[in-house]
Structure 1
Amino acid sequence: MIRIGSHRCLLWQSVICALVCLLAFHPFSSSTSNFADAAPPEFTSTPRNRIFFWKVTASTLAPDGVTRPVLLVNDKYPGPKIEVNRGDYITVVVQNALDVPTSFHWHGFTMRDDPWYDGVPGMNQCPIPPGTNFTYTFGTDNTSGTHWWHAHFENQYIDGLVGAIIVHEPPETDPFLHAYDEERTIIISDWYHQPTGPLLAHYLSPDSHGMEPVPNNGLINGKHTFNCANVIPADLKCEKGERTVFHFLPNRRYRLRIINAGAAAPFLFSVDQHQLQVIEADGTNLNPILVDSVPVNNGQRYSVILTTNQEPKNYWMRAEFGLDCLPKPTNLDPVILAEVRYQGAGAAEPTSVGRFVPDPNSKEPQINPAFVEACKDLDLFQLHPLQPVPILEPISKSIQVRISFKKNETDNIVRGYLNDITYAADPWNPTMMQNLKDVVQYDVAQHVMTIDKRDSIVQIILDNSLGGEHPFHLHGHVFQVVAQGEGLYEEGKSQLSAVNPVRRDTATVPRKGYTVIRFKADNPGVWALHCHIEWHVTTGLVMQFVELPDELRAMHIPKQAAQLCEVPPPAGFKADTGFMPK
């Protein structure tokens, strides 16, 4: 056998694996520049090495009818879906055909034994240089459910570099194998009519006063419509867009895998006149609960079962912006729609009504009280994993993290701070490489915290005194959410979800409130903790954990990963400038 990264390949795969390893860091020739998508895998319980070939390019696209520059993988937006079985190996050969560097993160994967493939420049890898390719490879032994991939360099995922990853449970261990008949993957996202370059230029200036760019629209599976009369700037090419259409059979049960791949906005997901049975959050199977709507914040995923037991006609699927969580919008339609068409109902546009219900005593419709708020997670005390795990205790290390924004005195730019430190990435000097030194002292702006003791229980208290919510994501771990509420968290006084707390990797810190998470330090690596509002990543709401640094040092970074750092940045390149099309 041979190895790719830290995974063994089966004998019958050896030739393929060897070829992938040989290609790992060399430019593609013209004869190999066009890759076709791999055929959908045959889903069996037998582990396989699933190999995906990606080409990253810059192009133009009009997902909602407004043409703008985009970044694409294999000419697709959203990008190719990775669909595998738990136990499979995933190998992704990335050809970077851009004229700038890039990298990719596998959101929801703990990257156990493969921390150098987590995809965060400045932490666990250097970016992939333009005109070259790089091979990511990692296992799925401890992962299942609904996840996603996205670029993790600059703000490239806002410009199009996103896609779904679905890891199926083997039939013998899938608790919901007979709970539904079919499934659909649904990627919801906010959308901007300009690339990130000009948006960042304004945001990272005194003129923005710290107000992040407001989306112009939202998309469901990469589609929606837009009123061309509202286009800003007015000279953008605009034509009639189209909505995504889902064709459903009556009296069937559909698992909807919902992913918020947006940059700034939380959404409230619903399907008119249908209830949703929630069975998964961020890859964790749940004791099912029945709801009318699901709030999905940036980076979060849910699986719900929808039963088509209503009158056979057409219905609206809705992804409603959490407007209370955004700066005041200008030309934004707050309700993003897709069509659910029952078989035999024809193609007429739905006339169904959403969460607003008529009020006989008022001209204005009233909000159905059964619907939740978009700016909060589902009630923490209703979400319990199907496979119970006791609350992690005793606490070995408790870290209070204060979220704040303030104006920098030297340049008058408002930046984000965690414990009064605003993170500044150093993409070509990753923390993982620095950890190889006998003596290392990290720059304050890298905001590094070290966890030395294996199996220690780490508690993070995220305190947010601000008027906006913040979805925080932790790399390398699935954590327990043990507390969430308004005001300040008080140890010993604030209510805990102490019995079988929900486990996930992205949790919302509510406005003027707190969220408390716990995880066990048993995964050597360099792991980011950051707000998943992508603009806030750019402005500094990031910190990192060097977990078990001695064990990490002894694992030996693969040669192809280390080689990335031998290539300097392109001449004149500056990080955090965003996508500036030629």
Structure 2
Amino acid sequence: MESIRKNLKLELMGIFLLNVFVFSVQHTTIPTYNWVFQKEAASLNFEVENWPDCTECSLDCRAISYPIFTKKILTVNGLFPGPVLHVRKGDRVTVNVENQGRYNVTVHWHGVKQPRNPWSDGPVYVTQCPIKPGANFSYDLIFSSEEGTIWWHAHSDWSRATVHGPIIVYPENGTTYPFSQPDDEFPIVLASWFKGDVMEIIETALAGGGEPNKSDALTINGQPGDQYNCSKQGMYKIMFDYGKTYLLRLINSIMNEEMFFMVAQHNFTVVGADGAYIKPLETDFIFIAPGQTMDVLVKADQSPSHYYMAARAYAGVVYDNTTTTAIIQYNGNYTPPSTLALPNLPDYNDTDATTIFTRQLKALASKDHPIDVPKTVDVQMFVTISVNTVPCDTNSSCNGPNNTSKLAASLNNISFVDPEVDLLQAYYRKLEGIYETDFPNMPATVFNYTADEFPDELLLPERATKVKVLKYNSTVEIVFQGTNLLDAAENHPMHLHGYSFYLIAKGYGNFDNATDPDLYNLADPPEVNTVGVPKNGWAVIRFRADNPGVWFMHCHLERHASWGMDTVLIVKNGKTEATSMLPPPNYLNPC
């Protein structure tokens, strides 16, 4: 599945090496794979004649007929996006990482539940200290019930902008998809492209307290397409044969934008989301948030020609309203069209389209793919999601609202602060003074969360490292409530590590505990790991806390996560060895 390799001109600057060993329950030997993380000079196909600050380009604009903008990025095996990891349900994978890049880094395996094994989950200062330049770390990936498309990405600062790639979990040997076997498949990775160094962008933004620079382009499998003012005609292309059915494995790795996705004149059948099967959903567009994945069947049933594949952002986030494109090209003898029509994507502010799409997602809930939704609840949490402000540093100005504050973000008005030692080691070794265990089940102040005006005291969060402790096997319900503080309401894709959960309801306005539980779907809710909490709305999830460990929960909009829209769930051990955390690996990186 190397169709994801794209037109990058690469200049080796350093490497970040991963050796991958896969143990499958079907194998008696361990296949070995090698991955290389590299610091590259990556050339995106932009003409620099009209690009600001062309003098910053590291490639001589006059040397080639189509000048290109070049910058150094961290990649895996020289690929943007990174390589595809192919496994089967129940496999086990060891990844040995050697960091020879410039920055600290960790890797998260998004959607891999890692039963009893938080040591290899990856979020920096939560389950591990960073892999520093010149250091190494071995990840032990344990696959369990996942089946379908998930993904991996860096989980340290903003390095995931270029360090990410698909994970494809095939059915166990001897089993098949719960739908007809597709004729071929293609990973489709949506990503952000920044002209500047992403690490410098977020460091500058955090120091000044303002919004980070928006991305300069959005890409499909590493290419922006032909709709940008500065882009040339080369773009990602897929070849179709008329009459065949293709599986598109769609991943939104974009940093800060939810996306609409379409293929001109073609319809989709969505069959999976976040590594679990859903009831087949017929649709002509996809709505997908950062962190989410979807498995989508498309039938090549149109007249042989060229057709646009296109994606653009949904409103409510900082972006320019430009569509990223790729091409589906049918094989055959025909005259290619001189111009192509873009698909009729929903309007950038079409909230009705997002609601209609997400409400149709239902778990397959079949005999071979059952679900187990908790019918009763031991722990109820009501978690507000807010953008806040904190004061400027003493005797200094900053770039937040009115230049008198810095932007922050919070859950239940607690803005998460990274500890100096990773929380997993602190918990396991019973280190004191690293974190507090009093993350609240409710916000300290109950208010009209979606109002237009608020008391000033609600804008200032408490900055702390607070976690929520859960008993093993307890059933948990979390109501996520969006707020309109700072008039900054937008959708929030909330991701929980170590678990998939059941999305049992969503709605708009303030959650009403008296009437909204009547909307709960306990029969066939989708089982996902990332939920889009609607702008000025709410979402309710349930899960059983049966995976002991330290698990990060955060907004997957990177700027919000950087501001503190995070917390941690610590699930205690059960009473047996089989219900307790695995021991730590022989080597852990020092902080």
| Residue matched to 2:57 | none
Residues 1:274 and 2:266 aligned together? yes
Q: For 1:483 and 1:459, how far apart are their aligned partners in 2?
A: 11
Partner of 1:126: 129
The change in CA–CA distance for 1:103 and 1:349 in structure 2 (over 3 A counts) is farther
| Mapped pair 1:300 → 2:289 | no
Percent identity, aligned pairs only, is 25
Note the C-alpha offset of 1:175: 3.1
1:221 matched to which residue of 2? 221
Tell me the amino acid that sits aligned with residue 102 of structure 1. Answer: V
| Counterpart code for 1:448 | V
1:447 equivalent among 466, 478, 498: 466
Superposed displacement of residue 375, structure 1? 5.7
**Structure 1, residues 112-157: CA drift from partner, whole Å, max 9, x if none?**
1321000112111111121122221222232221011100111111
Q: After TM superposition, give the deviation of residue 88 of structure 1 in Å.
A: 2.1
**Aligned equivalents of 2:390 and 2:16: distance in 1?**
46
Question: Which structure 2 residues correspond to residues 321-336 of structure 1 after superposition, within 5 A?
Answer: 321-322=313-314, 324-327=315-318, 329=319, 332=320, 334-336=322-324
* Equivalent AA in structure 2 for residue 336 of structure 1: T
Distance 1:368 1:272, change over 3 A: farther
Contact kept in structure 2, 1:252 and 1:307, CA below 8 Å = yes
Match of 2:520 among 496, 514, 525: 496
Cα deviation per residue 1:539-568 (whole Å; 9 max; x = unaligned)? 1111001111577976321212x3x12xx4
Aligned to 2:558: 534
8 Å contact kept, 2:306–2:327 = yes
Corresponding residue for 1:414?
407
Shift of 1:240: 3.6
Is residue 116–residue 125 contact of structure 1 (8 Å, CA) maintained in 2? yes
Alignment partner of 2:79 out of 76, 79, 92? 76
> Any residues of structure 2 matched to 1:54-69 within 5 Å, and which?
54-65=35-46, 66-69=69-72
Q: How many Å separate the matches in 1 of 2:124 and 2:348?
A: 45
Secondary structure (helix, strand or coil) at the match of 1:415 reads strand
1:228/1:497 CA distance change after superposition, 3 Å: closer
Contact 1:57 1:96 in 2 (8 A): no
Give the distance between the partners of 2:481 and 2:304, measured in 1 at CA.
47
AA partner of residue 322 (structure 2): P
Q: How does 1:59-458 map to 2 (within 5 A)?
A: 59-65=40-46, 66-158=69-161, 160-176=162-178, 178-206=180-208, 208=210, 211-225=211-225, 240=232, 242-322=234-314, 324-327=315-318, 329=319, 332=320, 334-344=322-332, 345=334, 348=337, 351-355=340-344, 378-387=357-366, 388-411=370-393, 412-426=405-419, 428-438=420-430, 440-444=432-436, 445-452=464-471, 454-458=472-476
**Structure 1 segments unaligned to the other structure (5+ residues):** 1-31, 231-238, 357-365, 569-582
CA distance in 2, matches of 1:514, 1:301: 21
Checking the alignment, whether the CA contact within 8 Å between 1:51 and 1:92 is kept in structure 2 is no
Superposed, 1:427-576 pairs within 5 Å as 428-438=420-430, 440-444=432-436, 445-452=464-471, 454-466=472-484, 467-494=489-516, 495-548=519-572, 555-560=582-587, 562=588, 564-565=589-590, 568=591
AA matched with 2:582: M
Q: How far apart, CA to CA, are the structure 1 residues paired with 2:252 and 2:15? A: 31
Which deviations, in whole Å up to 9, do the C-alpha atoms of 1:22-51 show, x marking residues without a partner? xxxxxxxxxx98979989x99995476443
User: SS in structure 2 opposite 1:435?
Assistant: helix
Structure 2 spans left out of the alignment, 5+ residues? 1-13, 47-68, 394-404, 437-463
Cα distance in 1 for partners of 2:529, 2:228 equals 38
> Bigger CA drift: 438-447 or 416-425?
438-447
Distance across 2 between alignment mates of 1:161 and 1:354: 29
Q: Match for residue 14 of structure 1? A: none
Secondary structure in structure 1 of the residue aligned to 2:543: strand
1:277-322 CA distance string (max 9 Å, x none): 0000101111101001010110100011100011111110111222
| Alpha-carbon spacing, 1:59–1:314, altered in 2? closer, same or farther (3 Å) | same
Structure number with the bigger relative contact order (C-alpha 8 A, sep ≥ 6) is 1
The TM-score normalised by the length of structure 2 is: 0.79
Local SS of the residue matching 1:497 = coil
CA distance in 2, matches of 1:181, 1:492: 49
Shift of 1:376: 5.4
Give the count of matched residue pairs. 505
Distance in 2 (CA, whole Å) between partners of 1:490 and 1:288 is 31
Which amino acid counterpart does residue 413 of structure 1 have in structure 2? K
